[in-house]
Structure 1
Amino acid sequence: MLTNKICIVTGGAQGIGRCIVETFAKHGAAMVYACDMNAQAAEELQETYSNVRVKQLNVCDRAAIQSLIEEVHADHGKIDVLVNNAGVTRDNLLDRMSEDDWDIVLNVNLKGVFNMTQAIAPIMIDNGVGSIITMSSVVGTDGNIGQSNYGATKGGVIAMTKGWAKEFSRKGAQVRANCVAPGFIETPMTIDLPEKVLTHMKSKTPLGRMGKPEDIANGVLFLASDNASFITGQTLKIDGGLVI
């Protein structure tokens, strides 16, 4: 599905991001760059897949982003797919949320997406084709208690994506921008939650289970592929029916 495509995945060392990298590698991508601040956690991917390269990257570091993009572009002459997956949480009720917790979530989850997309979109536009997929959340579409900062970023990336879908294609380039909004997903962040909490999450989901990283990765794979060539400006909810 991704034959000859050059892909960049941020937050690619663990959880959903790691699964996306593996899925892309298995489905024929020419090269997948797994970018993460904790590059060491992704070294096994590079050892397992000949078409994966691990790069240490902070999406808040614009100079480091530019250096990476220049390297990838010099090596391949193009970038076909960008997955904006890197993100953090600092949850708290509004009256207890610190300014630092607000700032770090906005910087990584919102400005980080802006930084990566601003650096890569012009290359895609020049090549006339590309797919940008940004991880949102059902919190970004429907809100959640104690996640003012996270919800703001995940709603913000949806708004940016809609604008980009119009902006990037206005001169005829087939550059698509979409979001994926996961529901409750089994990741290293959720696996250690109390059983009572996990049971509650499952009970709120019509399909009666939590999603797996593969569920998200398969949706991202579809949007990255040419099978989704007429889809742009959309938010694909992968949540087991949690938000209908």
Structure 2
Amino acid sequence: MATTSFPTERTVVVTGAGSERGIGRAVALRLARSGWSVAALDIDEAAAQRTAREVGERFGVPALGVAADIADEHSVDDAAARVEAELAPVVGIANVAGVSSPVPFLELTTQEWDRVFDVNIRGQFFVTRRFMQGMVDRGIGRVVSVSSASAQRGGGVYSKVPYSAAKAALLGMTRALAREVGKNGVTVNAVSPGPIDTDIMGGALSEERKADMVADLVVDRVGTVDDVAAVIEFLLGPDSGYITGATYNVNGGLIID
């Protein structure tokens, strides 16, 4: 049964929160500024703890940095147990963690295909399933997953077939899950970034690479992590309760639909 009140004491789980140049860290900081407690999950425990420490010091909210390999079900369960024991109830999930793959299709190995799907879709399944029951039971929740313009246009940004396929699967998961849990007060949405200056693009972008990417855009710059984090913050917040099953393009006009 859905509830109409948005809880004051609430936790957001952010995967991939450890990278200093990543969307996950930007999301964690924005949500902390809005009063959320933050569970920063990352495969790099030290990096997750750095993000949590920064969140706590800057915004004075409870924060926890936890090691989690989201492609490993048991690792996710262990991390979730700590989050639920030490922080307020989980109301939001930001599925940000992901890996890229620029390998051409005819050079792909099965191992590379599985690696990309394990993190980019299997991991989102493990994390979302683990925290979803609590959201349904309490009648309130927000899930936002990071897909990619590559899923919509068939690559052509940096990564190739396995990344595009996994991120497209994530859009299908988002829409189907939104239908299942909407009556329980839980919304499920996706953001689809275009070229963003993060390390998932193969490292820091040179000015030459930025210029090449901008040539395909309507706006005259490559995106920043805060461009994406701002939309995620809105979709996780109290004003987005009538939006679900949607994909928000944050791509500078790379795709207009």
TM surpasses 0.5: yes
Q: Is contact 2:190-2:247 (8 Å) kept?
A: yes
State which drifts further: 130-139 or 75-84.
Answer: 75-84
Q: Which secondary structure state, in structure 2, belongs to the residue aligned with residue 168 of structure 1?
A: helix
Q: Pick which of 38-47 and 141-150 moved more.
A: 38-47
Question: Can you give the 5+ residue segments of structure 2 that lack an aligned partner in the other structure?
Answer: 1-5, 57-61
1:106 touches 1:150 (CA, 8 Å); kept in 2?
Answer: yes
User: How many angstroms does 1:189 deviate by?
Assistant: 4.1
Within-5 A mapping of 1:49-128: 49-50=55-56, 51-76=62-87, 78-128=89-139
* Counterpart among 19, 25, 34 of residue 32 in structure 2: 25
Task: For residue 194 of structure 1, report the CA deviation from its aligned partner.
Answer: 4.2
| Pairing 1:1-244 to 2, within 5 Å after superposition | 3-14=8-19, 15-29=22-36, 31-50=37-56, 51-76=62-87, 78-145=89-156, 147-169=160-182, 172-190=183-201, 192-244=204-256
Q: CA deviation at 1:56?
A: 0.5
Report how far residue 45 of structure 1 moved: 2.5
Q: What is the DSSP-based 3-state SS (H/G/I as helix, E as strand, rest coil) of the residue aligned with 2:69?
A: coil
Normalising by structure 1, report the TM-score: 0.93
Instruction: Write the deviation string for residues 172-193 of structure 1: whole angstroms up to 9, x where unpaired.
Output: 3110100000011112344534
CA distance in 2, matches of 1:68, 1:200: 40
Q: Which runs of 4+ in 1 moved over 6 A?
A: none
The Cα shift of 1:196 comes to 2.7
Question: Among the aligned pairs, what percent are the same residue?
Answer: 28
Q: Is the 8 A contact 1:78 1:127 kept in 2?
A: no
Moved more, 66-75 or 19-28: 66-75
Report SS of the residue matched to 1:70.
Answer: helix
Structure 1: state its 5+ residue gaps: none
Opposite residue 28 of structure 1, the aligned amino acid is G
Distance 2:63 2:86 in 1: 14
Q: Number of aligned pairs?
A: 241
Which residue of 1 is the match for residue 59 of structure 2?
none
Distance 1:94 1:26, change over 3 A: same
Distance 2:7 2:32 in 1: 9
What value does the CA root-mean-square deviation take over the aligned residues? 1.8
Normalized against structure 2, the TM-score is what?
Answer: 0.88
